[in-house]
Every structure is written in C-alpha cells, then in structure tokens.
Structure 1
Amino acid sequence: MRMIGLAGWSGAGKTTLLAKLIPELTARGVGVSTIKHAHHRFDVDTPGKDSWVHREAGARQVLVSSANRWALMTELRGAAEPELRQLLGQLAPVDLVLVEGFKRDRHPKIEVHRAANGKPWIHPEDPAIVAVASDLAPEATLPWAPLDDAAAIADLVLRHAVDAAGW
C-alpha cells in the first residue's frame, strides 16, 4: 500500500482536486482510499438513528452494516487523537491512500495552492512537500502541475507516493 498527502490552506481546492484525482487514478487501474483530517467536531451519523443512539449511550465503537456498505465509528471518549500511522493501519489494503489534511505531519505531500486564496506557500517551510499543484508555478524547483490538470497531478501522485508502512 502506498500513500501521499495533499496539503494546503482552507479554500485551496484540496477536496475539489481529490474529486477529480480519484476517477483519474481508478481509470488507470489504481485502487484508491482516502483519509481526511477534520479540524472541527464532525459527525457521520444522524441524530435519532439507532447507531447514533448507541454512540450517545456510550459505545466506544459502532459498526453499521448493510448490503451496500459498512461503516465503523470510533468514539475517542477523551483519548488522544490517533496519529496518521495508526489510521493507515485501520484501512483495508489498497494500492494508494490519498491523505487530505494532516498538513503538519511529515509524510510526503503535494502542496495544493490557489493564488486567489491569498495564503503563503507551505513548501518553503515544510521539507515533506515533494511537489506542487497550483494555478501558478512556484518559484521553488519542485515538480509542478497546473491545478486544473488532473492527469498531470495523478502522474505526480504516482511518482511521489511512498510505501505506507515505511515512511
């Protein structure tokens, strides 16, 4: 299993890019999973549903299964947030894991940058940035692909992804 991150400031277009990258990569025969870091409280469950009631009652984990999908929710209940390495270990084997967020972690990342966002580049301060996807070329000598060119960015992803167990 290989992995690479997409890192950028809020509003840079990371999620939009992922929505284009995933079909591009799967069309090339690459099995893709994702891990998304959220900086805020989020919920994947609906209040009032049985699984929500189970969690609210204090269950540490709730697994919901149907003929179409299954989902496992884990409540930390005050425990520390798991590190990216731990989360990678929770995934079923796949060819490639795309990590959105975890900007401060040291795994290899492609910086997603949009000039109109008015935010500074991340790569000058983060040696884990291995390439850039942006609407303008960076001054650095990093490999670069235009933000709207999913095929070129997929090439960067495949070239720079690393063994998920070895980083």
Structure 2
Amino acid sequence: MRLIGLAGWSGAGKTTLLARLIPCLTGRGLRVSTLKHAHHRFDVDQPGKDSHTHRQAGAHQVLVSSDARWALMTELRGAPEPPLAELLAKLDPVDLVLVEGFKRDRHPKIEVHRAANGKPWLHPEDPAIRAVASDVIPPAPLPHAPLDDVEAVAELVLRHAAPWPG
C-alpha cells in the first residue's frame, strides 16, 4: 500500500482536487482509499435512526450494514483522537491511500495552495512536502503542477507516494 497526503489550509481546494483525482487514478486501474481529517465535530449518523439511538445509549462501537455498504462508528467518549498510523491500519489494503488533512504529520505530502486564500506556504517549514499543486508558482524549488491540471497532479501523486509500512 502506498500513501500520499494532500495538505493545505482550509479553502485551498483539497477536497475538490481529491474528488477529481480519485476517478483519474481509479481510471488507471488503481484501487484508491481516502482518509480525511475533520477539524470539527462531525456525525455520519442521523437522529431518529436505530444506529444513532445505539450510540446515544452509550455503545462504544456501532456497525451498520446493508447490501450496498457498511460503516463502523466508534465513539471516543473523551479518549484522544487516534494517530494517523492507527487509522491507516483500519483500512483494507489498496494500491493508494490519499490522506486529506493531517498536515502536522510526517507522511509524504503534496501541498495544495491557492493564492487567493492569503495563507502562508506550508513548505519549507514542513519537510514532508514533496511537491506542490497550486494556482501560482511555488517559492521553493519543488515539483509543481497547476491546481486545475488533474493529470499532472496525478503524476505527482504517483511519483511521490511512499510505501506504508503498516
């Protein structure tokens, strides 16, 4: 399994880029999974559903299954958020895992940068950044692809993704 992150400030276009990269990469025959970090409380469940009732009643984990998909929800209930390595270990083996967020972790990353955000570059402060996808030329001499050129960004992803030892 190989791994690469897309890291950047909120509003840089990471999710939009990922939504375009996934079909590009799967179209090349790769099995791709994603791991997304949320900076806020989120819920994939809905009040009124049985699974939500189970969680609200205090269940540590709730697994919901149908003929279309299954989902496992784990309540942390005050425990610390699991580290990236522990979360990656929960994924089925695939060719490539794209990680959105986790910009403070040390896995190889492509910085996603949009000038209109007015945010600073993550590189060179983050030595794990291997390349840049942006709407402007980066200030550091890193491999670069235009933010809207999905094929070029896919090439960066494939060139810089690293084997994950997990």
1:34 partner SS? strand
Match of 2:156 in 1: 156
d(CA) in 1 for partners of 2:155, 2:146: 12
Instruction: Return the letter of the residue paired with 2:100.
Output: E
Match of 1:137 in 2: 137
- Taking the TM superposition and a 5 Å limit, the aligned residue runs for 1:101-112 are 101-112=101-112
Deviation >6 Å, runs of 4+:
none
2:110 partner SS? strand
Displacement of 1:29 after TM fit?
0.5
d(CA) in 2 for partners of 1:48, 1:104: 37
- Say how many residue pairs are matched: 166
- Taking the TM superposition and a 5 Å limit, the aligned residue runs for 1:1-167 are 1-165=1-165
Displacement of 1:68 after TM fit?
0.3
Instruction: Return the letter of the residue paired with 2:140.
Output: A
Displacement of 1:164 after TM fit?
1.4
Displacement of 1:163 after TM fit?
1.0
Instruction: Return the letter of the residue paired with 1:148.
Output: D
- Please give the TM-score of this superposition, normalised by the length of structure 1: 0.98
User: How many percent identity over aligned positions?
Assistant: 78
**Structure 2 unaligned residues grouped into runs of 5+:** none
Instruction: Return the letter of the residue paired with 2:23.
Output: P
d(CA) in 2 for partners of 1:115, 1:77: 39
d(CA) in 1 for partners of 2:93, 2:62: 22
d(CA) in 2 for partners of 1:69, 1:88: 19
- Please give the TM-score of this superposition, normalised by the length of structure 2: 0.98
